[in-house]
Amino acid sequence: MKNRLKLFSKFTLLYSFLFLAAIILLSKIIDVSNETLFFSSAVILICYGVTFAFIKFELFKPLQELSKITTKLSAKNKNAGDLENEITDVNEILAELITYRDAKSKSLYIYNINNLLINVAERLSNDLQTAKTFKVNRNEFLGNVTHELRTPIFAIQLSLETLLDGAMNDKSVSEDFLNRAIKQTYRLKDLVDDLISISKLEAGMKMSKRYFRVNDMIKRTIDDLQGIANKKNITIEFNPGSSNGVSVFGDEERLKQVMINLIDNAVKYTNSDGVIKVTTEMKPKEVTIAVEDNGIGIPKVDLPRVFERFYRVDKTRSRDVGGSGLGLSIVKHILESHKSSIKVESEENKGTRFEFNLMR
Ligand code: ADP
């Protein structure tokens, strides 16, 4: 306020000096009567008054009103920390700014400033909304992790307690409980590995991309998983079509992770004696890779959700076969980092097909 007064008094003082100088100069140069001098002074004073009124009502007042609305944006918010109420506050300010712009912003200059403030408020509202979504997701994620960790830990605890309660005196019973405990520790390890992968991917882990022979990588992956397929007498067929020897651009290790997760799922969710077909197909700029099984399939309603973290169609079955519920969401993340996406088609009791493209 003090500064504003200073500005106005400086402005008026300067104006009076200039005005006085002009009058003196005029009376020296030309011979004018006192009436003319008085009349021209009155005209100049009226001009000053009009200019002053224009500045006050067209610029100063609207700016004052806009600053009154927006001080709430910068003022220490009584709702700080409570995202829901903060969003409501910002949205109210936004609505006020829009109403003001549409009803009262007559000058273009004020209209533009008003629009800039609306942009700032909109961005703040969006950022708060994103922060709220993150907070909800984080809480949900933590809840899921705790639940997933608790299950195997509890099973291990139970096996060890049973052993201590006397089961260890019987060799075959103790072996059974030890096997149950060790199975759960593998499950824990897989879960922790998946959690590390997903947190690195979500933190924007850097991919180390280069050209590599995609079919060689797929063959190696199938060899690595042959053991678990054999246990269920499942055949894994690989058909590289005309794409043999083709190179794709990407992070080989991460893309191998994609293939492991897809083929491992195909084995897990296919009954004994099933067949898994892995194919690669050349396209003008890409290679299409598909993993298809003739397993239990995924119900239509669940299809859009299978890539969500911890989402499982059949919770008990997935846990029994050792699934963490993170496999497909890791696949989705890795492919997004390669500017690709995954498609899924499935029919219950017929089978499932996952497909994605890689740049070549
Ligand atoms: P999980 O570790 O439980 O396998 P994923 O994220 O890999 O978790 O998969 C999510 C869910 O999608 C699985 O629980 C399963 O219900 C379903 N699913 C994934 N792949 C297949 C498949 N090939 N056939 C049938 N269902 C599948």
3-state secondary structure 287-344: EEEEEEECCCCCCHHHHHHCCCCCCCCCHHHHHHCCCCCCHHHHHHHHHHHCCCCEEE
- Which atom, in ligand 1's list, is nearest to the CA of 307? 6
Domain extents in the chain: 210-359
Geometric angle at alpha carbon 119, from 117 and 124, rounded to 5°: 95
Contact between 325 and 318 under an 8 Å Cβ cutoff? The reply is yes
Which atom of ligand 1 has the smallest separation from the CA of 324?
2
Do residues 276 and 291 touch, judged by C-beta distance below 8 A?
A: yes
pTM summary value: 0.73
- CA–CA distance, 117 with 67 (Å, rounded to integer): 10
CA distance 162 to 166: 7
Q: Three-state SS for 353?
A: strand
210-359: CATH architecture: 2-Layer Sandwich (3.30)
CA triple 322-323-326, angle to 5 deg = 150
Does 122 sit in the ligand 1 pocket, CB within 6 Å? no
Tens of pLDDT along the chain (360 residues) come to 555 556 666 777 787 788 778 877 877 787 777 777 788 778 878 888 888 888 888 888 888 888 888 887 776 566 666 888 889 989 999 999 999 888 877 788 888 989 999 999 999 999 999 999 989 888 888 998 998 899 899 999 999 999 999 888 888 889 999 999 999 999 999 999 999 999 999 888 889 999 999 999 999 999 999 999 999 999 999 999 888 889 999 999 999 999 999 999 999 999 999 999 999 999 999 999 999 999 999 999 999 999 999 999 987 777 777 788 999 999 999 999 999 999 999 999 999 999 999 999
- Ligand 1 pocket test, candidate residues 188, 318, 321, 324, most atoms within 8 A of CB: 318
φ and ψ at residue 131, rounded to 5 degrees: -60, -40
Give kind and range of the element (H or E) at residue 167: none
